[in-house]
Amino acid sequence: MTTAVAFSAAALPAAANPLFATGMPSLATGSLETYIQTVNRLPILTPERETELARKLRDNDDLSAARELVMSHLRVVVSVARGYMGYGLPQADLIQEGNIGLMKAVKRFDPERGVRLVSFAVHWIRAEMHEYILKNWRIVKVATTKAQRKLFFNLRSMKQAHGTLGPAEVASMAKTLGVRNEDVVEMETRMGGHDVSLEPVGCDDDESSFGPISYLADPGASPAVQLEQAQTARLRQAGLADALASLDPRSRRIIEARWLQEENGATLHDLADEFGVSAERIRQIEQKAMQKIRASLQEAA
């Protein structure tokens, strides 16, 4: 991942994208220490100036106003990033992810709510950093549910000692975080484990080495199994083609756009705009078409 602190096109007003990053301090052209010193010297906005700039951005998509709002809060991102240094990930990358969250916050900030931007933005900054940490801390994800995420970012700081959690501590932590005792124990086990390479690791003594990949069985390696799978796939494809042919043009278009695209499929709202109906109507048509396809496939089987 590049460490340049630049603005994400998805996080900015459409009219401002090409020029939004002009004048931004960059991690790509200097050291992290220089970057931090630079952002810490940027002036802090007064509440009145912050409100004025936010209104300009909201009402006029003012590029210079957006840039000034972001740059005056870059120090906040650096401060938040320091709190996540214990996960062993580069601080520069944490700062970059946090800057993306800051830009998203600036775009969505409403100056009329009477809340300072820093109070609003810190949640977006942390959310981006959390996503980055969860994706990069381990090869295998350790937290996917809401309860697991909560435990991942709180378990280590709540532990009283470095050893294994005792039953009383597990129960106390579960009650505080609103999760099950089993969730606490499972997360402690996950965080205490390590990634293991499937491939063999080389040895210095020139002896043969083995990794898990060497003794994991492949149930699909049999030619008979592969032939059966290929025949099944062909039958399913033919059955699906027949099932689609039985649909009316609109239903077929919806199913193909929603489920049969190689890239991301169309949304309900995209198709609602295309056919001039509500998203709920598209959902009803899709549901009815899927039921018809299932029935057709069951008959073919």
DSSP 8-class letter at 154: T
Q: Are residues 151 and 174 in the same domain?
A: yes
Provide the total of helices (H) and of strands (E) in the chain, helices listed first.
15, 0
**Token digits for 264?**
């991301």
Mean pLDDT of 250-257: 91
Residue 204 lies in a domain: no
Q: How far is residue 31 CA from its own chain's centroid?
A: 27
Q: Are residues 128 and 167 in the same domain?
A: no
* pLDDT surpassing 80 at residue 227: no
Residue type, 211: G
Q: What is the CATH number of the domain that holds 232?
A: 1.10.10.10
Rounded to whole angstroms, what are the CA distances from 167 to 87, 164, 173, 181, 188?
26, 10, 10, 9, 13
Q: Are residues 178 and 247 in the same domain?
A: no
| Pairwise CA distance, residues 158 & 153, whole Å | 10
Q: Are residues 13 and 129 in the same domain?
A: yes
Q: Are residues 119 and 25 in the same domain?
A: yes
Q: Are residues 236 and 295 in the same domain?
A: yes
Q: Are residues 160 and 79 in the same domain?
A: no
Q: Which residues, at least 6 apart from 177, have a Cβ–Cβ distance to it below 8 Å?
A: 147, 150, 151, 154, 184
Q: Are residues 130 and 22 in the same domain?
A: yes
Domain boundary among 108, 136, 164: 136
Residue 214 lies in a domain: no
Round the CA-based radius of gyration of the chain to a whole number and report it.
Answer: 26
Q: Are residues 123 and 188 in the same domain?
A: no
Residue 252 lies in a domain: yes
Q: Are residues 162 and 124 in the same domain?
A: no
Q: What is the pLDDT of residue 218?
A: 62
* pLDDT surpassing 80 at residue 198: no
* pLDDT surpassing 60 at residue 33: yes
184 close to 151: Cβ distance less than 8 angstroms: yes
Question: Could you give the number of structural domains in the chain?
Answer: 3
Burial 266-283 (b: 16+ CB within 10 A, else e): bebeebbeeeeeeeeebe
Q: Are residues 168 and 129 in the same domain?
A: no
Q: Helix or strand or coil: residue 178?
A: coil
Whether pTM exceeds 0.85: no
Residue 2 lies in a domain: no
* pLDDT surpassing 60 at residue 99: yes
Q: Please tell me which residue, 169 or 143, carries the higher pLDDT value.
A: 169
- The whole domain housing 157 covers 146-192
Q: Are residues 117 and 13 in the same domain?
A: yes
CA dihedral 142, 145, 146, 152 (to 10 degrees): -10
Residue 215 lies in a domain: no
Q: Please tell me which residue, 126 or 221, carries the higher pLDDT value.
A: 126
| Pairwise CA distance, residues 252 & 290, whole Å | 10
Residue 154: name the closest of 187, 132, 125 by CA. Answer: 187
* pLDDT surpassing 50 at residue 7: no
* pLDDT surpassing 70 at residue 169: yes
